[in-house]
Amino acid sequence: MLFGIFIYPGGEPIDLASFGLLSIAKRIRPEIELCTIAPYGGLTVLNNGLCVLADYGIARAPGLDILVVTGGPGWIDQSRAPETLAFIRRQAAAIPIVPVSTGALIVAASGILDGKVATTERDVVPSELLTLARLRGEWATAYDANLLDTGTTAGGNASLCIDTMLHLLERLFGPEIADETASIIEYWRPRRANRKDFPPLPPLARSQ
């Protein structure tokens, strides 16, 4: 099962925790494979200068089973990039799309969240756009939630992308795999606290 992690110039390094969590899960489920995809492949400079060599550009992306779309300040440019939006639409026609943080606004700009519920990061510094309001105002019915799962598209917030990946593992492989992965990284306490204090939102029940 191949997971593609979409990165781009100005992406937020903390969202690479999605790659890291899946890397841990691969110890338990060796069939998990990972790759990074960027608009043009090769050297991609994330926010604050972290350099990542993307495995593929979108023009040569392999067949994927899951696409994770990361967030970061570069989301604004990517939400206006025709090639990126077309790539997301092509992938969404065949596989689940999992946006993390402001990656949800890139996905929303592609049109695949039209008529759906969604979430994104809730708290920003004063100089940044209030992205939850932007999502709600322009593209989708947005909720203040840690995690939403519409069945084909899941989404989570910033550093809580770990919870999103654990939710994805549970959906794909069962709760035992998600629990064991959380245990390996000693995350079972925060996961339990997040589920209690800010549980995933059941979108169909809450959107009616």
CB 108 within 8 A of CB 84: no
Say how far apart CA 89 and CA 175 lie, in whole Å.
Answer: 30
- The domain of 181 spans 2-206
Q: What is the model's pTM?
A: 0.82
Task: Please count the structural domains in the chain.
Answer: 1
Task: Give average pLDDT by consecutive 10-residue segment, the chain, 208 residues.
Answer: 98 94 97 98 96 97 96 92 97 91 87 70 49 53 53 56 88 94 92 71 43
- The CATH number linked to 130 is 3.40.50.880
Question: According to the model, what pLDDT value does residue 104 have?
Answer: 84
CB 72 within 8 A of CB 10: yes
Question: According to the model, what pLDDT value does residue 144 have?
Answer: 46
Question: According to the model, what pLDDT value does residue 159 have?
Answer: 54
Question: According to the model, what pLDDT value does residue 111 have?
Answer: 85
Question: According to the model, what pLDDT value does residue 163 have?
Answer: 86
